[in-house]
Structure 1
């Protein structure tokens, strides 16, 4: 029995929803990948559909059993009979729908959507993109946050580099490789015909985000975490800490390929999300635990906070002075700076500002682009 049916965005999104019911976390990016993979073929057999879904929608071997159950339930039905061939329509059309999305508070995995982020991005005109880039994260609705998240994934940073202490083989270098030169001389009766060299290669400096997750920073913290996730999965060395009532290292949670799954794990790990602010104490805790780690020493540290701190300003000033001494550069993103009338007169911000190398707004996509430009400028100065 064959029952050909049409591959559509709605069908792929429905399958993703079925997978989530069986405990397999999926994201709109994975749904888009399945949709694009199936449209590479004019006619897809059931086995092709099964394998394409397993490659694009499953992130761990332990989920294969749940994936098989979801596939049988969605495509074969309860009686085990279903389609053996799938017709793919041309041209590709994506049906647009709107699904409820979480608010700008605690991060969580958003529900399945028929319209994928890449298609939505393609539909935006240059003027629409510019308006979206200038709009504050706090003022965005659910649809605008989804489109902004797609734009955040396109950002990349040119990070500064430093010379490594470990030497490697090289055709040309400042240092003589004595051992290799002597071994080569054995082949020429002890006469060193060519001297081997070694050099110290350069490697990219780590970038560390210290993100304030207090109540006033919730929408901006989510955007910065998405940006950090994009950098981490672009191959950069990224460390991330959240600060509020306490300090929490969330670098491991951010390693998940799916950004929504990563945010869900962060929500479970960060106990003080949307709480109070003890910025000075939290930052001092990070320095006490990781002051000698590559996450801080010699790294580019980006602090994202509005500076509204309930701690004694002297604690924050001492911590920032220590941070400025051991880090390569200290940058501060303050969403309040997006207002032209803003002046850093709060006690916490006034205490931290003398120890900050670059002070930028952090309220919209344009400010994240300015951060990328500032990182590139640091690299040029270092070179």
Structure 2
């Protein structure tokens, strides 16, 4: 059927395609074993909208490009296409005749903005097209690996990273603070206020233990294979720090380097340039076990570790002995509130954490996520916001 579609002329009458058509066709492909998600369905709908007048040939190829991205899926897609749009007709050289799709008032082009239309758009529709909600490059950008982005895509990804605003969990503080109401009497405040009334207490000030946001600590592998992912997470750390959160940021290469003060610069580009001068082991080797052990030894009693949300970003390719990393991660897990590990290699469905360092660290990790694109960063934010199970 593919050869016939390739050599045939487009049909004179356009095929009427609505959002319902795309959803039903995607559902049929899922029943035939193809992994079709909402992103592919909306991408097909957007492609047909851009094509305008769509014949059967254009519809077939647009659907195959968007919905069947592997060679072994082509026969399944072709058979499902013929089943959905009807049996072949003798009048069009074996092309399957389009199946009439009943339209409701909600599906008609005149009622639903964004529906692929057979009529050319007039000047009065230009403003409506600009405001029309259709799938855009944002979803494609979110699923693209940081390592495969060009300069313009990295710029747009940086803007999306700045918009990530997870609500970090809170914990009870250690000291009582003056408050309008509370279970504890503020004795100092009582005595101080009584001096103005000749020792007679006129009111009873109160104190309570406030809740404080848990600190966030980022430990970023800056070895040669982690460059694009490290830069993206540094931008996230800069955004969180300047949004008022308690953030500590470290780089882990041949040794551990604290770069929190460098990230306090208002411009993220200026901060990254300063970090490039400050971190002398960027694009070097990785002694991850030594770096994590140094973090625990130097900051184990500091808010950067104790009770904090710790995010490790590394591919787990460590030159240290796996026992060093395993022991250090066990101690880090005991002191921190929660440990998340972002591994860009996990973005590949075929990945298995079989490296010795990764296998030694994984039992002490609460959440294991990929860290190769914006979708994985959104998953990280959701994991940071989530309450820890009791």
Q: Are 2:370 and 1:361 equivalent residues in the alignment?
A: yes
1:44 corresponding residue in structure 2: none
Q: Are 2:325 and 1:310 equivalent residues in the alignment?
A: no
Structure 1 CA distance, aligned partners of 2:179 and 2:157? 44
Q: Over alpha carbons, which structure has the higher Rg?
A: 2
Q: Where do residues 252-331 of structure 1 align in structure 2 (5 Å cutoff)? A: 252-331=261-340
2:68 corresponding residue in structure 1: none
* CA displacement 1:316-345 (0-9 Å, x = unmatched): 001001101111111111111111121111
2:352 to 343, 346, 349: 343
1:177 to 183, 186, 190: 186
Shift of 1:185: 5.7
Shift of 1:377: 0.7
Shift of 1:206: 1.1
Q: Are 2:175 and 1:161 equivalent residues in the alignment?
A: no
2:234 corresponding residue in structure 1: 225
Q: Are 2:346 and 1:352 equivalent residues in the alignment?
A: no
Q: Where do residues 1-383 of structure 1 align in structure 2 (5 Å cutoff)? A: 126-182=135-191, 184=193, 194-378=203-387, 381=388
TM (norm. structure 2) is 0.63
Tell me the SS of whatever aligns to 2:302.
coil
* Structure 1 runs of 4+ with >6 Å offset: 122-125, 186-191
Tell me the SS of whatever aligns to 1:208.
strand
Equivalent residues, number = 260
Contiguous gaps of at least 5 residues in structure 2:
1-130
Is the CA contact 1:160–1:382 (under 8 Å) kept in the aligned structure 2? Answer: no
* CA displacement 1:71-118 (0-9 Å, x = unmatched): xxxxxxxxxxxxxxxxxxxxxxxxxxxxxxxxxxxxxxxxxxxxxxxx
Tell me the SS of whatever aligns to 2:311.
strand
Structure 2 CA distance, aligned partners of 1:187 and 1:218? 63
Is the CA contact 1:137–1:223 (under 8 Å) kept in the aligned structure 2? Answer: yes
Tell me the SS of whatever aligns to 1:301.
strand
Q: RMSD of the TM alignment (CA)? A: 2.3
Shift of 1:193: 5.7
Shift of 1:294: 1.4
CA gap 1:333/1:353 in 2 versus in 1, 3 angstroms = same
Tell me the SS of whatever aligns to 1:248.
strand
Tell me the SS of whatever aligns to 1:309.
coil
CA gap 1:262/1:185 in 2 versus in 1, 3 angstroms = closer
Tell me the SS of whatever aligns to 1:293.
coil
